[in-house]
Amino acid sequence: QVQLVESGGDLVQPGGSLRLSCAASGRIFIIAPMGWYRQAPGKQRELVARISTGGNTNYADSVKGRFTISRDNGKNTVYLQMNSLKLEDTALYYCQLLLAGMNYWGQGTQVTVSS
């Protein structure tokens, strides 16, 4: 069993910054690809950013240049640094881990961008 616990979500003004964290625990014996997704009310869950075991990253076009995903393999933790936040970044952010062909999800952390 794999558990993912996100933290760092908050209410922030436009232009502000937040850093999300996701710690993975459980039956993880290898380094796994991880990512961040988000879901706004009334919309489908969408990919925000992902990072491979080797550290290769890719981002949604909407966050390129503003968000940075990183990982600490020793801690099985992935981070999402979010800068220059916009109103449209408001969503529930989920951490994702791919292991042995299965996707695991955290419970989500709320990010609200509002003036």
Write out pLDDT tens, residues 4-19.
Answer: 999 999 999 999 999 9
Phi, psi of 47 (to 5 degrees): -70, 135
Nearest to 109 by CA among 88, 84, 91, 83: 91
Report the largest interatomic distance among the alpha carbons of the chain, rounded to a whole angstrom: 43
What's the mean per-residue pLDDT of the chain?
94
CB 14 within 8 A of CB 27: no
Nearest to 107 by CA among 97, 95, 90, 99: 95
Over 90: is that where the pLDDT of 85 sits?
Answer: yes
Greater pLDDT, 74 or 47:
47
Burial track 77-107 (b if 16+ CB lie within 10 A, e otherwise): bbbbebeebeeebbbbbbbbbebeeeebebe
